[in-house]
Amino acid sequence: MPADPAVILRARGLRKAFGSVEVLKGVDLDVHRREVVCVIGPSGSGKSTLLRCLNRLETPSAGTVSLDGIEITAAGIDLNRVRKDIGMVFQAFNLYPHMTALGNVTLALRKGLGQSREAAEVKGRAALAAVGLADKQASYPAQLSGGQQQRVGIARALALEPKIMLFDEPTSALDPELVGGVLAVMRQMRDTGMTMVVVTHEMGFAREAADRVIFMNDGEIVEQGSPDQLFDNPRMDRTKQFLERVVQR
Per-residue pLDDT of the chain (249 residues; tens, 9 = 90+): 456 779 999 999 999 999 999 999 999 999 999 999 999 999 999 999 999 999 999 999 999 999 999 999 998 998 888 888 999 998 888 899 999 999 999 998 998 888 999 999 999 999 999 999 999 999 999 999 999 999 999 999 999 999 999 999 988 888 888 888 889 999 999 999 999 999 999 999 999 999 999 999 999 999 999 999 999 999 999 999 999 998 764
- List CB contacts of 221: < 8 A, sequence separation 6 or more: 27, 28, 29, 214, 215
- Report in angstroms the alpha-carbon separations of 2 from 5, 7, 12, 68, 134: 9, 11, 15, 11, 43
Quick one: DSSP state of residue 2?
P
Q: Provide the CB-side half-sphere exposure for 159 (13 A, CA).
A: 31
Among residues 212, 206, 210, the alpha carbon closest in space to that of 243 is found at: 206
**Identity at 214, one-letter amino acid code:** I
pTM of the model: 0.93
- Return d(Cα 104, Cα 171) in angstroms, integer: 19
Phi, psi of 123 (to 5 degrees): -70, -40
- Report in angstroms the alpha-carbon separations of 47 from 23, 60, 211, 236, 249: 9, 14, 18, 18, 24
